[in-house]
Amino acid sequence: MTTSWAGGIAATTIFVRDLTAAKEFYRTVFECSPIFEDEASAAFRFGSSIVNLLHEPAVPELIEPAVAADRSAGARVVLTVEVADVDARVERLTAAGVQLLNGPVNRPWGPRTASFADLDGYIWEIGGNPPAN
């Protein structure tokens, strides 16, 4: 049986300790403004997807009876954003004070990537075509 998920992933919600600081980080690093925000959340558009920052006190209402994992549990997801020029974007990120976890590096499976963590420890990867030699 084949199932179609034609709409793709519309939104990813991540849990943040300090919503004000997280919003400023996303504004600065990703050079965009929220498309929606209220006292408990702020949503940013990445192409056809949305990343929603949800303040930790509001998390139980969304996921109960499940519980949120503690940040100390380690990374469990990588969010990848495609960019036209990885090296140019890395220069802008480092100028904004972002410390890279790795990269830029040409991956064996094709793209050139670099990774960094946001204020709440979520791992972000930027990826694009490697420069022509």
Residue range 12-32, pLDDT digits in tens: 999 999 999 999 999 999 999
Q: Are residues 89 and 107 in the same domain?
A: yes
Q: Above 70 in pLDDT, residue 2?
A: no
Query: Which of the listed residues 25, 50, 68 is the one where a domain comes to its end?
Result: 68
Domain that holds residue 99: 70-133
User: Do both 77 and 20 map to the same domain?
Assistant: no
Dihedral sign computed on CA atoms, order 54, 117, 26, 108: negative
Domain CATH code at residue 106: 3.10.180.10
Domain shared by 57 and 90, yes or no: no
Residue 90: pLDDT band with limits 50, 70, 90? very high
Instruction: Name every residue whose Cβ is closer than 8 Å to that of residue 46 and which is 6 or more positions away in sequence.
Output: 30, 81
- pLDDT of 115 higher than 80: yes
Domain assignment present for residue 124? The answer is yes
Give the model confidence (pLDDT) of 41-87 as tens digits: 999 999 999 999 999 999 999 999 999 998 888 888 999 999 999 99
Q: How many domains does the chain have?
A: 2
